[in-house]
Structure 1
Amino acid sequence: MSLSAAMKTAQSNFSNVGLQSAVASKNIANASDTAYARRSAILATAATGASVVETQRAQNEALLKQNLLSISKSAGQDTLLSGLTRMKTMLGGEDYELAPSTYLAKLRDNLQTFADKPNEVSLAETVVADAIDVANSLNTTSQALQKLRAEADSDIATSVTELNRLLKEFKTYNDQVKQGTAAGTDVNDALDQRDKLLTQISSIVGVSTMKRTNNDLALYTSDGTVLFETTARTVTFAPTPTYTAAVTGNQVYIDGVAIQAGAGGNTSAQGSIAALLQIRDHAAPTFQKQLDEIARGVITMFSEGTDEGLFISNGLPALTDPGLSTVIRVNPDVISNEGGNPMLLRDGINTNYNVDNNASFSELLNGYASAFEAPMTFHPDAAIDTSATILAFGTSSVGWVEQLRSAATTAGDDKSALLGRTQEALLNVTAVSLDEELALLLDLEQSYKASAKLVAAVDEMIAALLQAAG
């Protein structure tokens, strides 16, 4: 090797060490950033030795796509579980002490006691108080459900706004990647930002990717709707500020195509929007229908012929109209502090059945007690038994909520575990290891020292040649 060739080799090595050290230093500086993918300085053989030809970014397309899918599924499942947990909370704790079925059972027991001792005013007062508890339970649970639907609607609006923002930002970095790739410049930072945006988008709506010329990405939802293709597609939604049982929320549209709500406890929802739609349009309305059917059942059970009795619909046109559980109340004619007489429950509220004013008259009370054991017909939209006693139907309603929540909990654990494993696998490929980077810096230090010794040796040789020629 000539002295000039040795000097060029040393200079090339100095340049390589400088570039490699810069890459390693950048890796170390971003080690805590989960959106940062590790960089590697790639060497290639040249006339003067090896030289850095590019800075390569660690990536694995298959793992990235699986990670996006796992994020979408886990986000959808967590969102649904949160809503179902709220629904369970409406019914009280683990014993469901605030559930309508709990108060109905208490009403039945005390009603039977009153029927056995129909001359006891205190027992009449107790039964009326139990009836008020049943009506209040139905009212508060129904109101809480509509509040849950309104909050889900508000969360959908927030998610849509955020999704539009993310898609707009995605276009910025996607354009940088396309232009940089075409020009041959370093686009690794833009790729990091683009992948970070993809993970955020996937938590809102299920997304799949298609890579095109110059690293351009097209995005599609899980059902194939175009989300981004050169430009972002518009996501639209009109919020509904107030919810009642009769109100239907508006759809979310991506480029004019409606997003489908999730289904089931192990929800099919990918992303938070589909899960929020499932809560707002399916889970909560189904539970609302169950509450309305319970309200219709108790009004019918305690009616006096064609007239409403202990329970009244409070002006709702028909017992089959949605929202009956929100307005049901106890007839004020039997409430003492509203000027009523609780003993009318024994004798008849609209018609006096106890014409002889008999203190032991219990015909009506026994009929009411028997009604608790008689099967009734319920609407199939309630998604539980269509023929059952009122207590069995109420218990089935609690069971429906718990079964759905339990399935969502199990699925949530499974999807969270899968997400954790997928992210770990991806990080094993793309994350920065401080130990590896520090070891690389030590190797680069040794390489620098070797080059420095080569330069020193060449310098000594040249000095010796000049002295000999002198």
Structure 2
Amino acid sequence: MSLASSLNTANSIFRNTSQQTSVLSTNIANDGNENYVRRQAVVVQTIYGASTVQNERSQQMALLRQMSSSTSQQGAQSTLLEGLTTLSDALGGNEYQLSPSSYLANLQSSLQSFAALPGEYALASTVVTDAIDVANSLNNATATTQEVREDADAQIFEEVQRLNKLLAEFKIVNDTVVRQTATGGNADDYLDRRDTLLKEISEIVGVSVNMRENSDMVLYTSDGTTLFETDPREVTFVRTFTYDSTVSGNAIFIDGTAVRAGVGGNTDGQGSLAALVQLRDVVAPTFQTQLDEIARGLIEAFQETDAGGANELPGLFTWPGGTVPPTGTVQPGLAALIQVNPAVRSDASGDPMLIRDGGINGAAYVKNTAASSGFTDLINSYVDELAANRSFSADADLKTDASVLSFASNSIGWLEELRSNATTANENKQALYERTFQTYSAKTAVSLDEELSLLLDVEQSYKAAAKLVSTVDDMLKAVLEMAG
């Protein structure tokens, strides 16, 4: 090897080690950055025999797709569980102390006590107090249910705005990637940013990825709607600010296609939007229907009839409608309107003993015509009516033939079964996400130990090149001395 070729070799080593050191330094600086994909500086031989360094990015497209999918599933499941937990908390948590079912059990017990001592005014007042608790429970549960819907609608609005911003940035980054790839530039930093945007988009809506020429990325929703192809598709939503049982929320449209609500406790929805629509349009309205049916059943169970057994009117429980709603037919919003009749409330100048005697709706409805202090027929009939089976609407997603007490208990069972399934599914999907993340990180993230080891190898290469230059220098000095 001539001295000139030795110097060229050393120069090549210096150049390569400089580039390798730069890449390794960048990797080390991004240790712990989950949005950074490790670079590799690989020394290759050109067709002319020279060595050069090529930068390679440790991309794993299959794992990125899996990461996107698991992120979408986890995002939907955690969103659904959060909403179900809010509804459960409104019932008093695990003991359900604030649920209509618990207060109904208290009402049944106080009625039985009153039947045993029908002349006790204090026991009549206790019945009224427990009835007020039942009505308040239904009112409060309805308010919480509608707040869940309202909050879900507000979150949808925020998520749609966020999604549109992410898609707008995605276009800028994707266009840069395509341009850099087509012209042979370095698109690594833009690829990192695009992958990060993809993960954030996946939290909001399920995404499938298709790659085209020059690393151009196309996004579709999990239902097959085009989300991004060269340009972002329009995502639109009109917010509804106030909810009650009669209000339906507006749909979310992606490229003109409505986002489908998730189904089940182990939701099949992907992304937070599908879960929010499920909460707003499926779970909360069904629970509200159950509350409305409990309220209707109570009005029906405690209704009064006149001496002829006709002219049914609300008794202990009433509502502004002033009639007994038809059996088995949902009266939307009834749970928010039900109240204890002022005629039996002592704080409204009413008489609690009307529960024993009848006549809440006037003299024609009095049953204890003899004014007997031991009269129990009406009280016992109320106890029987609470335990008697009656028809409920199938829209409540519960048994259509049950007592008011059983129906109220079944409502809790329905909600808790849904929440239990959602909790188990959330744990499973969280575990899947973590495993996928760990696998993805193992392939793409920076390992500080590995980078430092490679840095030592580069250092040895540098030392070898420096030694070669020193040797050539000594040889040149010897030649010059000989020429002397």
Q: Could you say whether these structures have the same fold, taking a TM-score greater than 0.5 normalized by the shorter chain as the test?
A: yes
Aligned partners of 1:39 and 1:335: how far apart in 2?
Answer: 77
Residues 1:214 and 2:214 aligned together: yes
Residue number in structure 2 paired with 1:368: 382
Residue number in structure 1 paired with 2:343: 333
Q: Is the 8 A contact 2:157 2:238 kept in 1?
A: yes
Residue number in structure 2 paired with 1:420: 434
Amino acid at match of 2:384: S
Aligned partners of 1:208 and 1:316: how far apart in 2?
Answer: 55
Q: TM-score, normalised by structure 2?
A: 0.95
Residues 1:322 and 2:350 aligned together: no
Once the 2 structures are TM-superposed, how far is the Cα of residue 86 of structure 1 from its aligned partner? 0.5
Residues 1:383 and 2:397 aligned together: yes
Once the 2 structures are TM-superposed, how far is the Cα of residue 138 of structure 1 from its aligned partner? 0.2
Q: What aligned pairs does 1:45-124 form with structure 2 within 5 A after superposition?
A: 45-46=45-46, 47=48, 49-52=50-53, 54-124=54-124
What is the aligned residue count?
Answer: 469
Residue number in structure 1 paired with 2:418: 404
Note the alpha carbon deviations across 1:3-55, whole angstroms, 9 max, x for none.
11111000000000000000000001111211000001121114464211x21
Aligned partners of 2:314 and 2:421: how far apart in 1?
Answer: 40
Residues 1:451 and 2:457 aligned together: no
Aligned partners of 1:226 and 1:308: how far apart in 2?
Answer: 55
Residue number in structure 2 paired with 1:230: 230
Gaps of 5+ in 2: 306-311
Q: Could you tell which deviates more after superposition, 163-172 or 358-367? A: 358-367
Q: What aligned pairs does 1:138-177 form with structure 2 within 5 A after superposition?
A: 138-177=138-177
Aligned partners of 1:308 and 1:327: how far apart in 2?
Answer: 13
Secondary structure, aligned partner of 2:243: coil
Q: Is the 8 A contact 2:314 2:322 kept in 1?
A: no
Amino acid at match of 1:221: T
Q: Is the 8 A contact 2:167 2:232 kept in 1?
A: yes
Q: Is the 8 A contact 1:8 1:48 kept in 2?
A: no
Aligned partners of 2:295 and 2:87: how far apart in 1?
Answer: 18
Secondary structure, aligned partner of 2:194: helix
Residue number in structure 2 paired with 1:431: 445
Aligned partners of 1:356 and 1:45: how far apart in 2?
Answer: 113
Q: Is the 8 A contact 2:314 2:324 kept in 1?
A: no
Aligned partners of 1:443 and 1:250: how far apart in 2?
Answer: 61
Secondary structure, aligned partner of 1:372: helix
Q: TM-score, normalised by structure 1?
A: 0.98
Q: Is the 8 A contact 2:300 2:324 kept in 1?
A: no
Aligned partners of 1:373 and 1:209: how far apart in 2?
Answer: 57
Once the 2 structures are TM-superposed, how far is the Cα of residue 323 of structure 1 from its aligned partner? 0.5
Once the 2 structures are TM-superposed, how far is the Cα of residue 465 of structure 1 from its aligned partner? 1.8
Aligned partners of 1:289 and 1:146: how far apart in 2?
Answer: 12
Secondary structure, aligned partner of 2:95: coil
Q: Is the 8 A contact 1:9 1:48 kept in 2?
A: no
Gaps of 5+ in 1: none
Aligned partners of 2:255 and 2:163: how far apart in 1?
Answer: 13
Aligned partners of 1:214 and 1:440: how far apart in 2?
Answer: 31
Q: Is the 8 A contact 1:5 1:48 kept in 2?
A: no
Q: Is the 8 A contact 1:37 1:430 kept in 2?
A: yes
Secondary structure, aligned partner of 2:94: coil
Counterparts in 2 of 1:96 and 1:30: CA distance versus 1, 3 Å: same
Aligned partners of 1:205 and 1:48: how far apart in 2?
Answer: 51
Residue number in structure 1 paired with 2:309: none
Residues 1:300 and 2:300 aligned together: yes
Residues 1:346 and 2:356 aligned together: yes
Once the 2 structures are TM-superposed, how far is the Cα of residue 460 of structure 1 from its aligned partner? 1.4
Secondary structure, aligned partner of 2:248: coil
CA RMSD of aligned residues (A): 1.1
